[in-house]
Amino acid sequence: MHGIVQAQLAIDLNCTVDDFNGEKDNFIFVEAADNPGRRPFKRGAQVFDMLTMGGPVIVSATPARLAYAKERLAGKTRDQAYAMPFIGGLSINCLPDIGHLPVIPPTPGFAYETYGQGEFAALLILPGFTNALQYDPGNPVQNALVTAAGWEGAIVAVAGAYVWSEKMWSIGIDVLPAYRNRGLAAYLVNVLTHESLRRGIVPVYGFDASNIASQRVAHRTGFQPAWMSERWNRFEGELAN
């Protein structure tokens, strides 16, 4: 599983799989490239990604930003690097611990349904599920699978699996405020985790480092941290998406 993820991240960052291994405070700087098979995230003219899987920090960027970061990260540790002024927010991505993956029972009283591609269009008119559903039909990252919980005929929680690549899906979850703390998030994420694995897909569960609720869901559903990257970055006053 980690091999599949490392191979994909190497394509995304224009580095090698071997680059992810080594001393934790080392930095590897590579020029960004639009490689075939990279995850289809939207990119601007300027690119910057900084990622670690626990070993070296891989910095992948277009030339000007690469030179900027290389100069400022000289002599820094990994922790200092992620505290630099041009780094905004930290994103933690987790993979399932296959040997300790639970099967979580559904919360009683709710109705559940799982939808394949082409079956969940009716959900896209519902507000409040932006982490789970791709509302923009023009975005290159789309849902492959969706599972939802209903209460008295209304959808109150949704988990969606986004296609990141041929072998990787990312799981997002939203639960309406009135229905939180009832185990719905853990159950729905668990359903999509098992459905992904059954299809031979690596499921990824990611969240902001400050999102304690999502960290609890990750723990309950058998996910463990696999890599960390910046959430967004800022260069010379420019907010880069």
Give the per-residue pLDDT at 236: 59
If asked whether residues 79 and 148 sit together in one domain, one would say: no
- Which CA distances in Å does 225 have to 42, 84, 204, 213, 215? 24, 22, 10, 15, 10
**CATH code, 188:** 3.40.630.30
If asked whether residues 88 and 109 sit together in one domain, one would say: no
- The phi and psi torsions of 179 (rounded to 5 degrees) equal -120, 15
If asked whether residues 206 and 130 sit together in one domain, one would say: yes
Give the per-residue pLDDT at 237: 52
User: Mean pLDDT per segment of 10 residues, for the chain of length 241 residues?
Assistant: 95 96 89 96 91 96 95 94 91 95 97 94 95 95 97 97 97 97 97 97 96 96 96 63 39
Give the per-residue pLDDT at 23: 81
Q: Helix (H, G, I), strand (E, B), or coil: what is residue 100?
A: helix
If asked whether residues 72 and 133 sit together in one domain, one would say: no
If asked whether residues 114 and 187 sit together in one domain, one would say: yes
Give the per-residue pLDDT at 240: 42
pTM score of the predicted model:
0.92
Give the per-residue pLDDT at 44: 87
If asked whether residues 130 and 216 sit together in one domain, one would say: yes
If asked whether residues 138 and 173 sit together in one domain, one would say: yes
Give the per-residue pLDDT at 239: 39
234: containing domain: 2-93+229-240
If asked whether residues 202 and 110 sit together in one domain, one would say: yes
- The phi and psi torsions of 91 (rounded to 5 degrees) equal -110, 125
If asked whether residues 111 and 192 sit together in one domain, one would say: yes
Query: Which residue is it, tokens 């100069």?
Result: 71
Among candidates 111, 165, 123, 114, which has minimal Cα distance to 142?
Answer: 165
Residue 208 · residue 214 · CB < 8 Å: yes
Q: How many distinct helices (H) and strands (E) make up the chain?
A: 5, 11
Residue 207 · residue 214 · CB < 8 Å: yes
Quick one: tokens of 202?
């690596």
If asked whether residues 33 and 125 sit together in one domain, one would say: no
Q: How many domains does the chain have?
A: 2
- Which CA distances in Å does 84 have to 50, 79, 93, 121, 176? 12, 9, 20, 42, 35
Question: Which residues have CB under 8 Å from 195's CB, separation 6+?
Answer: 114, 145, 147, 161
If asked whether residues 115 and 83 sit together in one domain, one would say: no
Give the per-residue pLDDT at 43: 87
Give the per-residue pLDDT at 225: 97
If asked whether residues 165 and 64 sit together in one domain, one would say: no
